[in-house]
Amino acid sequence: MNAILIIEQALNGLQLGVMLFLMAAGLTLVFGIMNLVNLAHGSLYMVGAYLATYFAQLTGSYLLGALLGLGGTLVVGMVVELIALRTLYERDHLDQVLATFGLILFFNELVAILWGRNAIYSNLPEYLTGHVELAANLFYPLYRLLIIGIGLLVAALLWYIVTQTRIGMLVRAGASNRTMVAALGINIRLLYTLVFGLGAALAGLAGLLSGPLFAVQSGMGEQILIQVFVVIVIGGIGSVRGAFAGAVIVGMVDTLGRAFLKPTLATIISPAAADSAGPALASMLIYLLMAAVLAFRPQGLFGGRSP
C-alpha cells in the first residue's frame, strides 16, 4: 500500500460520495417536506441515465444528451408527482412504500421494453477521457474529477438555495409546519411539485453522470437506492447537511473498505481466510456502520434539526 494508491481510492470514495449525495439530497428533501417515502427515486436515476445516453446517441453530442436527459428527468419526475404521488402525501408510509414499489416495477419494465434487457453503454467524448496529473505519478481520470466538482458545486448551490433564498425559506417552513405555510397563502401544492422536480432532476443528474462509469440497465436504480437509504439513515432524514455528511462517509467507507480490507485482513489472519472474509465483510461494511450509528443516535447524525 502506498500513498498514491490511498489518495486514488480516497478520491474514488469522494466521487461515490458526491454521487450518493445527489441522490440523497432529493430523497431527503422530498421526505422532509412532503413526508413521502419515494422508493421510485432510483427509477428517476435510471431514467436520467437512459435518456442522456439515448439523446447523446441521437444528437451525437454528449453535452446535449446530458442537458436533454436532465430536462427529460425533470419532466418525468413532475408528471409522476402529478399523476401518482400527489394522492399519497396524506397516506401512511406503508402505502407510499407499496405504491412507489409499483412504480419501480413499471419503470424497470418500461425501459426494458423501450431499450431491451441488455445493458447499453454511453461513451465519453474525447475531451473527457483523459487523466489529470494531480501530483507526481498520481494520474486521476478527468471525468471522475468532473463528477466530484459537479457534486460539490451542487452541494454548495443547494446550501445557498435552502438557507439564503425565499424558496429555501418556504422549503424549511414547509418541513416544520405545512399547514401553517398553506394558511399564510403559499401555494403549497406548487411548492411540492417544484421540490419534487428538483429532487428528480438531481437524481437524473446522478444517473446521467454515472452512465459512462457503469452499465446503463434496467434495475440500476435500486442498487444505488438502498445505499442512499443507508446514507439518509446515517445523516438523519430530512437534513440536507446530514445527507452530505452521510454520503461522504458512506462513499469513503465503502470504497476504502473494498480496496483495503482484504490486504489489511491478510496481515492479521491467513491470506486464504482473508480472501473469503475480505469481500464479504467489505460488502457489509456500510450496513454495519449504519447499525453502529443507530445504536448511539437513532435519529441519525443530523436528525431532528432544520434542513
Partner 1 sequence: MKRGTWVVVLLLLLLAAVPPLAAIFNEPFYLDLFRRIMIFAIAAASLNLILGYGGMVSFGHAAYLGIGGYAVGILSHYGIDNGVLQWLLAIGASALVACVIGAISIRTSGIYFIMITLAFTQMLYYLGVSIEEFGGDDGMRLTMKSQFGGLLDLNNATLFYYVVLAILALVALLIHRLVHSRFGMVIRAARSNEVRTHAIGFSPYGYRLVAFVISGAICGLAGALFANQTGFLTPDFMHWTRSGEIMFMVILGGIGTTAGPVLGAAVLLLLEDRLSALTAHWQIILGPFLILVVLFARRGLAGLFLREGRDG
> What count of residues does the chain have?
307
**Strands of 37-158, DSSP E:** 131-135, 138-141
Q: Residue 94 Cβ, how far from partner 1 at the closest point, in Å? A: 5
Interface with partner 1, residue 185, by CB under 8 A: no
Largest CA distance in the chain: 67
Cα separation, 282 vs 256, in Å, equals 9
Name which position in 5, 288, 304, 305 contacts partner 1 (CB under 8 A): 288
For residue 224, give Cα distances in angstroms to 41, 166, 262. Answer: 10, 32, 23
- Tell me how many residues contact partner 1 (CB under 8 A): 44
Interface with partner 1, residue 94, by CB under 8 A: yes
Q: Which is nearer to partner 1, 21 or 62 (CB)?
A: 21
Interface with partner 1, residue 273, by CB under 8 A: no
**x-marked contacts with partner 1 along 102-121 as a string, rule CB under 8 A:** xxxxxxxxx-xx--------
CA geometry: angle at 43 spanning 72 and 302, to 5°?
105
Window of 175-183, 189-197, 239-247, 275-283 that interacts with partner 1 by CB under 8 A: 275-283
**Strands of 48-204, DSSP E:** 131-135, 138-141
Name which position in 61, 63, 95, 129 contacts partner 1 (CB under 8 A): 95
Closest alpha carbon to 232 in 222, 221, 246: 246
- Match 441521437 to its residue by C-alpha cell: 58
Name which position in 6, 135, 269, 294 contacts partner 1 (CB under 8 A): 294
- Write the single-letter amino acid at 243: A
Window of 7-15, 50-58, 145-153, 225-233 that interacts with partner 1 by CB under 8 A: 225-233
Interface with partner 1, residue 302, by CB under 8 A: no
Cα separation, 159 vs 26, in Å, equals 13
CB atoms within 10 A of CB 223: 13
Q: Which residues bind partner 1 (CB under 8 A)?
A: 31, 37, 84, 87-88, 91, 93-95, 97-99, 101-110, 112-113, 222, 226, 229-230, 232-233, 237, 276, 279-280, 283-284, 287-288, 290-291, 294-295, 298-299
